[in-house]
Amino acid sequence: MLKIMTLAMSALATAAAAQEMTCVPTRADTERLARLDHAWRDGRADAVNGGAGDELRRLGPVADPRANLTRPQPTPGRYQCRTIELGAASDDMLPYVAYGWFKCQVTLTPGGDLILRKTTGSQRQTGLICPDDTRKARFVGVLALGEEVRTPRYGADPERDLVGEVRRVGEDRWRIAFPWPVYESKLDILELRRTR
């Protein structure tokens, strides 16, 4: 019985991993990404006005919209990752939240696609990191919640769709800026630190 359960769980995990992915964002996500500069401006202003100016300074290039290094796509491997929320989506939300570190993984498929998966935590991003230019890449994916085994297909649920700009911010460090997320903030930043 245990062997059957193990095989069933393995099949579910494989099905979840095999969800169709795309580098082409929906129209709504394209519009969100086009307003990234406004999300940075409004999110940072809310955080500073809420007393988090020192925290932003300590984050350095992670929270600096001007970060502009080459090689924007992270290398395959294991990462520590954490989410930082800037700006309050409503008056009852905090203008700055930095969560603890979780685990992420970047894999290179045989077809040459880079896939990012946040593997721990209650909100887990999964999607493709797509080339854009020499200084930025694009993340297109979805948000898995709670104990879900199978993530929704991108484009099937606008509240779970994610789009973001990927930039390298230091040696073995990247960030993804997600403008105007559905929940809680004006800008979510996923900070990535490569582990050895």
Q: Is residue 1 part of a domain?
A: no
Q: Is residue 91 part of a domain?
A: yes
Range with the poorest average pLDDT among 20-24, 26-30, 106-110, 179-183: 20-24
pLDDT tens, position by position, 52-89? 999 999 999 999 999 999 999 999 999 999 999 999 99
Question: 183 — phi, psi (to 5°)?
Answer: -110, 135
When pLDDT is cut at 50, 70 and 90, the band that residue 19 belongs to is low
| Residue 107 clears pLDDT 50, i.e. is over it | yes
Number of domains in the chain: 1
Q: Is residue 11 part of a domain?
A: no
Let me know if 19 is exposed, middle or buried by CB neighbors in 10 A (0-12, 13-18, 19+): middle
Q: What is the end-to-end Cα distance of the chain in Å, rounded? A: 38
- The pLDDT assigned to 183 comes to 84
Positive or negative: CA dihedral 196, 21, 166, 88? negative
pLDDT > 90 in the chain, percent: 79
Q: Is residue 123 part of a domain?
A: yes
Q: Is residue 66 part of a domain?
A: yes
Q: Which spans in the chain are helix H?
A: 2-17, 27-34, 36-49, 53-59
| Residue 189 clears pLDDT 70, i.e. is over it | yes
Q: Is residue 188 part of a domain?
A: yes
Domain that holds residue 166: 22-194
Q: Is residue 12 part of a domain?
A: no
- Helix (H) / strand (E) containing 191: strand 187-194
